[in-house]
Amino acid sequence: MTTITELLQKGEKSINSSESARLDAEILFCDVMQFKRSRIYSHPEQLVPEAKSVLFQSLIEQRQQGHPIAHLTGKREFWSLELTVNKDTLIPRPETELLVETALQMIPENAAFNILDLGTGSGAIAIAIASERPDCKIVATDINKNTLTIAKENAETHRIENIQFYLSDWYKNIPSQSFDLIVSNPPYIRQDDEHLSQGDVRFEPELALVAGADGMQAINMIVENAKHYLASDACLLIEHGYDQKPLVQEAFLKHDFKRVKTFQDLSGQDRITLGYKYG
């Protein structure tokens, strides 16, 4: 049998093309062994059972091929919540937490807002907001049945009861009601974007990433139709690409949104835009 130290060194060397090879190896190893990373450092000479070693090597080989860590472990942390993810779901990104943070700033702690999350994916945004604002009622939609199943499971895992999930192509199958806030992290990548052939996105669902020639197809549709679902003086909040601010703000203004504003993520990139419906 091999020790923890030896196995991790071998794993790290195998995926040295990754910028976080050591961390990747540790995460995968701990997932296989089902223990915390601190164990790696407190028991470096512990022997690893052969079956566990073989499973670890299999995951390392898949990571070497580029498969995302989140897909290999089946989970990703978002807003301090561990979420189940798979090949049907977009992997939640840290920058999307800005959308959650901004939304929460707009919702008083004891408010009973009606909120719509379009394209919920793993349920990350809806579940994060629901966990912080339990008095709000959230409708979350997705066009993919398998994705919606994952979102429901994530909500159940965290005992979230104030979300209703709907299989829907954006607005098509949602309840007939007005919402105080609409949030969305829609597809916004151009179909010819070179990044689609790089990194984790190679293994993520294209439907959740790509939105036409300019990446604006989904955003334009969401903005155009939001007025039919927003209450008076309610807000639409959308995540978008770092270079799409002009196009997104133009779409908001074209459809008579007021107080349009764009916020930057922690990297200083334009990331989310909001606007208010009047009347």
What domains can be seen in the chain, in order of their start residue? Answer: 2-65 (1.10.8.10), 75-276 (3.40.50.150)
SS3 196: helix
Entry pTM: 0.90
Nearest to 187 by CA among 263, 244, 105, 228: 244
Q: Report which residue type is found at 151.
A: A
pLDDT tens string 60-102: 999 988 889 999 999 999 999 999 999 889 899 999 999 999 9
> What's the pLDDT band for 18 if we cut at 50, 70, 90?
confident
Residue 173's pLDDT band (cuts 50, 70, 90):
very high
Share of the chain above pLDDT 90, in %: 79
Backbone angles phi and psi of 158, in degrees to 5:
-95, 15
CA distances from 208 to 27, 119, 185 (A): 26, 8, 9
pLDDT tens digits, 218-251: 999 999 999 999 999 999 999 999 999 999 999 9
